[in-house]
Amino acid sequence: MSKLNHYTARVLTGGLLLAVTLLLAGIVLTVARPGIEAVHMASVSRIPGDIAAWRPGGFFTLGLLVLLATPILRVAALFTGFLRNRMWLFSACSFLVLVLLGLSLYLGVAA
């Protein structure tokens, strides 16, 4: 289990570092452009345009999305790890959690 634990830790750390980097980039852009209007609602559809125009809002939203995706990636990592170790019951549990998380996202978007 120790190998699986360390592999999962690396997935979590990688996602966290990427999220923090994006959030810090947004802060740097905010400080560098005083007077820029603050965005009070995270909008996924604005990410590409904001990133291309170096607007902080896009970096903030993308960073928060990456943070939100990290636990999901962690579950996916566990799913593959349990499969590799032939721990079928726990790989089934991991798969079920992934399905429920996907359902949560789908229902949220549909609502």
Partner 1 sequence: MMHVIILALVGFVGGTFGSMVGLGGGLFIIPALVLFLKVPVHNAIAASLLGVVATSTTASAAYLRQDLTNVRLGISLETMTVSGALVGGFVGSGLGKSTLSAIFGGMMVCVAIYMGVRQRVVRPPVVESGDTGLLGDSYHDHASGEAVGYRVRRLPFGLGASLVAGLVSGLLGVGGGFLKVPVMVMVMTVPVRAAVATSSFMIGVTACASAAVYFTKGLVDPVVAVPVVLGVVVGAYLGSKLSLRVKSSVLTVVLAVVLFALAVQMLLSSVGISVR
Q: Give the footprint of partner 1 on this chain (CB under 8 A).
A: 1-2, 4-6, 8-9, 12-13, 15-16, 19-20, 23-24, 26-27, 38-43, 57, 60-61, 63-65, 67-68, 70-72, 74-75, 78, 82, 87, 89-90, 93-94, 96-97, 100-101, 103-105, 107-109, 111
**Least separation, in Å, of the C-beta of 7 and partner 1?**
9
User: Can you count the helices (H) and strands (E) in the chain?
Assistant: 4, 0
**72, 100 in Cβ contact below 8 A?**
no
**Least separation, in Å, of the C-beta of 10 and partner 1?**
8
CB neighbour burial string for 64-85, b if at least 16 within 10 angstroms, e if fewer:
bebbeebeeebbbbbbebbeee
12: its two tokens: 């979590």
**Least separation, in Å, of the C-beta of 9 and partner 1?**
4
